[in-house]
Amino acid sequence: MAEFSKEKKTILSGIKPSGELTLGSYIGAIRNWKQLQEDYNCIYCIADLHAITVRQDPALLRKRTIMQLAQYIACGLDPEKNVLFLQSHVPAHAELGWVLNCYTMVGELNRMTQFKDKSAKHADNINAGLYDYPVLMAADILLYQTDLVPVGEDQKQHVELCRDIANRFNGVYGDVFKMPEPFIPKLGARIMSLSDPESKMSKSESDAGCITLLDRPEDIMARFKRAVTDSETCVRFDPVNKKGISNLMTICSAATGMTFEQIENQFAGKGYGEFKPFVGEAVVELLRPVREETERLLKDKAYLNSVLDNGAQQASYLARRTLSKVYRKVGFYSTDK
Ligand code: TRP
């Protein structure tokens, strides 16, 4: 069981199990989470309620959920130090989400860029859940009196909305919610697709330039060798004019610990033909232990289920404290003495 300490700040983040975890989610998110586990109270949610805002295949959703848990653990998130749980196992998320709906303005939701992007992409299924997604995310965060929310750039607007909702609620009822801050990692915050360095690496787009955590080494190598670059031959960091190469350098630096300068020096006078497989090898070695450990864990469903049961129990305990306070503040009648 994760021991929570009052002296430590609380961190909460989540990833939807709607696609496989990618190299982007590893470098940009999960790998950093691992470093936080000693210094913070850490809560990580597998956001399955969020996943169904876009139509999912039920069997695949179930499979990806347990795979995502196995991968969290394989990436180094120790269930003894972090609370790892499934959002649908803790009803307080949906419950607080409802209450917060009544403190969120439709004008605010209309401004969310992710909603605009997603409704353009899924024009045949612009459902109310997709619209309301940021309110559920606010509930995820506020339930745990979270201090810091590690997210990518694309989620910053949602964390800001969460703060606005919390402020409005606290303005009416006093200090009920802690004010959370977004926590955006510097390096590798945004890993781009290998085949289209203009867009974020993403499994859901069936992106040919996406690396997932469970990809075989030969597939990883093939994708790096085909990575889109530019017509120069110089390995140099220039995220404006050389997006492909700069993305490969970011990945290389994250995988090897080399600085951009060291990479530039090592490949001075050498072409992309040498650089691309070098990055590929580094990524193969980075992901090898994660893949092997995930495969091992997936054979032990009893253990994974016990992690989820414990996680749900701990998360529910923490979440209920906030939810009861909210219910009392808004005036719901309680039979408790
Ligand atoms: N919306 C986030 C994403 O798409 C996932 C998420 C759900 C989340 N709940 C959260 C992230 C709470 C941070 C905090 O990536």
- Are the C-beta atoms of residues 294 and 71 closer than 8 Å to each other? yes
Residues carrying an active site annotation: 118, 200, 203
Report the topology of domain 217-295.
Tyrosyl-Transfer RNA Synthetase (1.10.240)
End-to-end CA distance of the chain: 30
The verdict on the CB of residue 155 being under 6 Å from ligand 1 is yes
Look at residue 200 and give its three-state secondary structure. strand
Q: Are strands 10-15 and 41-46 parallel, antiparallel or unpaired?
A: parallel
- Tens digits of per-residue pLDDT, 109-166? 999 999 999 999 889 999 999 999 999 999 999 999 999 999 888 899 999 999 999 9
Nearest to 12 by CA among 329, 311, 326: 311
Angle at 325 between CA 12 and CA 173, to 5 degrees: 100
Residue 184 has pLDDT above 90, yes or no: no
CATH of domain 10-188+301-330: 3.40.50.620
**Residues 117, 121, 123, 127, Cα dihedral to 10°:** -60
How many beta carbons lie within 10 A of that of residue 128, not counting itself?
8
Lowest-pLDDT range of 26-35, 41-50, 64-73, 184-193? 184-193
pLDDT at 206: 63
pTM: 0.93
Question: 272 and 229 in contact (C-beta within 8 Å)?
Answer: yes
> Tell me: the pLDDT tens digits for 266-289?
999 998 999 999 999 999 999 999
pLDDT score at 12: 97
52, 72, 131, 140, best to mutate for ligand 1 pocket (most atoms within 8 Å of CB): 140
- What ranges do the domains of the chain cover? 10-188+301-330, 217-295
Lowest mean pLDDT among 9-18, 180-189, 276-285: 180-189
Q: How many angstroms separate the alpha carbon of residue 44 from the centre of ligand 1?
A: 10
* pLDDT tens track for 76-117: 999 999 999 999 999 999 999 999 999 999 999 999 999 999
Q: Which residues pair with 183 in a beta bridge?
A: 150
- Measured in Å, residue 123 CA sits from the centre of ligand 1 at 22
